[in-house]
């Protein structure tokens, strides 16, 4: 939900309490990093420069001509969608375009990264990745996990610590929201299958490795992960105890760790799942994707050992970099980002190795990583072709080499939040109407979530969309009701401007976060007809409606 409607609940300093209980070692008593310190800026700037040096070399080798740099307006819109999940407001466009400081893009990024909206937007994306399909919409797990992630992203908590907390925590969910990651696997289906899903998700998100096919048969690619290896990795979760007491309202969820016991399975028949009556079942000894645990890892609970192994694996930082890069460019350095299992860490592309190394040494702060990427020249390339001559294969090569920005679909949340901003719905003065719209919006978001229910990290060149999405924009309540010019709405305010010229300019800033070209001004003049002195509201409404339907609004480019 949009920040303005759903204020985050205060966390009451639970985080430090949580750590004390869990006995997880903290480096010191220092408070979490404050947003973008001078040293973080220096690290990020150096990283941005290295990205550009590496890419320049690749472009030269591949004979790619990079697209020109984005205009300020293009940059503002792109970085707002990526960092805070919505288009900029007209006031934000006015302010940024009016700024005269030479490093105003860096200043903008610092402000965005430090905002609550950044933490909320990225927490939402992480939650979508971390929860299994059925639990994504379930309040019991979703609400605490999203709250926890917004908190840790807001304070820049080191990501290795976050992963430890997600994997190794114990206690009550009511006190420790991060336990939602485990609690989401508390019911539904076969218990060993739930743990298998938890293991597969952890391997995918934290190690960029898809291993789930080895659940049923040996992984066919290099390096081979056998079915035995798969279940031996699941075995690290073999002692977790997830109790859900549904007699309590809300249900009381407790996560514990037994001091003994092993995952017991029958793996003899590769086509059948474990069966508790099966005499062939046996205890499965834990190992890490085929590697036996080393002596120095043999400390702490099973899940603590697993967490230690994960955060020390070279794929850990590479996965974080690959995922973040994919979110910001629409495609991965290694494509797809979760295909690291078949890559030798010694032979990662230089760009990936460099950013992974920086992520490790700068203290695993996701915000510094984001800043490093978005202030590179590569991120700031236009999505237009560099010259007159262009065709499909040139476009594809340029986008694959990060010499040109891709046109990316907005996610459900990005589109929904952007529609609210562009129509000014939340500022409408008619209270009864606003209330009705608020209710409708909640319904609409559920609707958007369903019809947009796709994997937002899908293949770089695939377009995933469907007709219900298009119908929702064309015939949905939000687009149709919210473009109506009312007191306080963006169109209502726009019509208070005196000249038609000024109104057209404001309309472009509202819908497209930029100024219209001369050609577009003439076109808009024609579209508005002769009777557009402010009284012909339907003409303005129709134009705004058409703009909200358009590809330029519904994509990040």
What residues from 174 to 213 belong to the interface with another protein (CB under 8 A)? 189-190, 193, 196, 200, 210, 212-213
* Rounded alpha-carbon distances, angstroms, from residue 14 to 10, 25, 160, 176, 356: 10, 16, 19, 7, 30
Q: CA-CA distance, 135 to 201, in Å (whole number)? A: 13
- Closer Cβ to another protein, 299 or 519, answer by number: 519
Please select the residue that binds another protein; options are 208, 274, 366, 492, rule is CB under 8 A. Answer: 274
Residue 462 touches another protein, criterion: CB under 8 A: yes
- Closer Cβ to another protein, 37 or 459, answer by number: 459
Site residues (CB under 8 A) for another protein, limited to 422-451? 447, 450-451
Output the six-digit token pair for 407.
Answer: 């046109």
Please select the residue that binds another protein; options are 49, 407, 434, 497, rule is CB under 8 A. Answer: 407
Residue 231 touches another protein, criterion: CB under 8 A: no
Site residues (CB under 8 A) for another protein, limited to 275-314? 275-278
- Closer Cβ to another protein, 369 or 482, answer by number: 482
Contact string 471-510 vs another protein (x = CB under 8 A): xxxxxxx--xx-----------------------------
Number of residues counted as binding another protein (CB under 8 A): 77
Residue 31 touches another protein, criterion: CB under 8 A: no
* Minimum separation from the CB atom of position 282 to another protein (A): 17
Helix or strand holding residue 519 (H, E): helix 518-528
Q: Which residue has the tokens 């066919």?
A: 220
- Closer Cβ to another protein, 27 or 526, answer by number: 526
Q: List 556's β-bridge partners, or say none.
A: 408
Q: CA-CA distance, 261 to 282, in Å (whole number)? A: 12
Residue 546 touches another protein, criterion: CB under 8 A: yes
Query: Which residues make Cβ contacts (< 8 Å) with residue 119, sequence separation at least 6?
Result: 149, 150, 151, 153, 154
Q: CA-CA distance, 515 to 496, in Å (whole number)? A: 19
Residue 244 touches another protein, criterion: CB under 8 A: no
Site residues (CB under 8 A) for another protein, limited to 511-530? 520, 523, 527
- Closer Cβ to another protein, 173 or 425, answer by number: 425
Output the six-digit token pair for 188.
Answer: 């539904």
Nearest alpha carbon to residue 43 among 360, 380, 379? 360
Residue 172 touches another protein, criterion: CB under 8 A: no
- Closer Cβ to another protein, 321 or 473, answer by number: 473
Contact 98, 118 (CB under 8 A): no
Site residues (CB under 8 A) for another protein, limited to 85-114? none
Site residues (CB under 8 A) for another protein, limited to 322-361? 336, 339, 342
Query: Which residues make Cβ contacts (< 8 Å) with residue 142, sequence separation at least 6?
Result: 127, 131, 135, 136, 180
Query: Which residues make Cβ contacts (< 8 Å) with residue 204, sequence separation at least 6?
Result: 129, 210, 211, 212, 338
Please select the residue that binds another protein; options are 80, 199, 409, 418, rule is CB under 8 A. Answer: 409
* Minimum separation from the CB atom of position 467 to another protein (A): 5
Residue 543 touches another protein, criterion: CB under 8 A: yes
- Four-point Cα dihedral 350, 353, 357, 360, nearest 10: 150
DSSP3 helix / strand / coil % (the chain, rounded to 5): 55, 5, 40
């Amino acid at each position: 939900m949009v920040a303005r409607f759903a204020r985050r609940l205060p966390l009451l300093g639970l985080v430090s309490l949580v750590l004390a209980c869990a006995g997880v070692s903290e480096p010191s008593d220092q408070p979490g990093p404050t947003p973008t310190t001078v040293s973080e800026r220096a690290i990020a700037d150096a990283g941005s420069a290295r990205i550009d040096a590496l890419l320049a070399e690749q472009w030269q080798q591949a004979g790619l001509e990079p697209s020109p740099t984005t205009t300020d307006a293009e940059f503002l819109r792109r970085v707002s969608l990526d960092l805070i999940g919505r288009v900029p407001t007209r006031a934000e466009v006015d302010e940024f375009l009016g700024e005269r400081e030479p490093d105003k893009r860096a200043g903008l990024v610092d402000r965005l990264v430090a905002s609550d909206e950044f933490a909320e937007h990225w927490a939402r994306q992480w939650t979508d990745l971390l929860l299994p399909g059925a639990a994504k919409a379930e309040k019991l797990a979703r609400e605490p996990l999203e709250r926890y992630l917004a908190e840790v992203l807001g304070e820049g908590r080191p990501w290795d610590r976050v992963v430890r907390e997600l994997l190794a925590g114990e206690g009550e969910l009511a006190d420790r929201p991060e336990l939602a990651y485990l609690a989401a696997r508390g019911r539904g289906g076969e218990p060993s299958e739930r743990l298998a899903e938890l293991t597969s998700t952890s391997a995918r998100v934290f190690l960029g490795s898809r291993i789930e096919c080895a659940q049923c048969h040996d992984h066919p690619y290099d390096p081979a992960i056998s079915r035995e290896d798969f279940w031996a990795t699941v075995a690290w979760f073999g002692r977790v105890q997830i109790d859900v007491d549904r007699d309590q309202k809300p249900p009381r969820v407790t996560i514990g760790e037994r001091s003994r016991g092993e995952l017991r399975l029958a793996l003899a028949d590769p086509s059948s799942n474990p069966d508790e009556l099966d005499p062939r079942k046996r205890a499965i000894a834990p190992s890490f994707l085929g590697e036996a645990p080393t002596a120095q890892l043999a400390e702490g609970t099973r899940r603590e050992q697993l967490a230690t192994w994960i955060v020390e694996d070279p794929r850990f930082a590479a996965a974080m970099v690959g995922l973040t890069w994919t979110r910001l460019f629409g495609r991965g350095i290694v494509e797809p980002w979760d295909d690291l299992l078949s890559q030798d860490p010694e032979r990662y592309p230089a760009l990936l190795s460099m950013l992974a190394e920086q992520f490790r040494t700068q203290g695993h702060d996701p915000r510094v990583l984001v800043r490093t990427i978005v202030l590179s020249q590569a991120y700031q390339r236009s999505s237009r072709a560099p010259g007159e001559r262009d065709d499909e294969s040139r476009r594809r090569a340029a986008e694959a080499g990060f010499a040109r920005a891709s046109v990316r679909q907005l996610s459900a949340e990005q589109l929904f939040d952007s529609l609210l901003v562009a129509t000014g719905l939340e500022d409408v003065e008619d209270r009864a109407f606003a209330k009705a719209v608020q209710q409708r919006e909640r319904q609409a978001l559920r609707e958007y979530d369903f019809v947009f229910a796709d994997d937002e990290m899908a293949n770089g060149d695939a377009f995933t969309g469907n007709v219900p999405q298009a119908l929702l924009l064309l015939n949905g309540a939000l687009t149709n009701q919210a473009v109506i010019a009312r007191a306080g709405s963006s169109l209502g305010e726009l019509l208070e401007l005196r000249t038609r010229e000024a109104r057209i300019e404001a309309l472009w800033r509202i819908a497209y976060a930029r100024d219209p070209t001369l050609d577009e001004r003439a076109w808009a003049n024609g579209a508005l007809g002769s009777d557009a002195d402010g009284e012909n509201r339907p003409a303005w409404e129709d134009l705004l409606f058409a703009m909200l339907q358009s590809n330029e609004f519904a994509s990040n480019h």
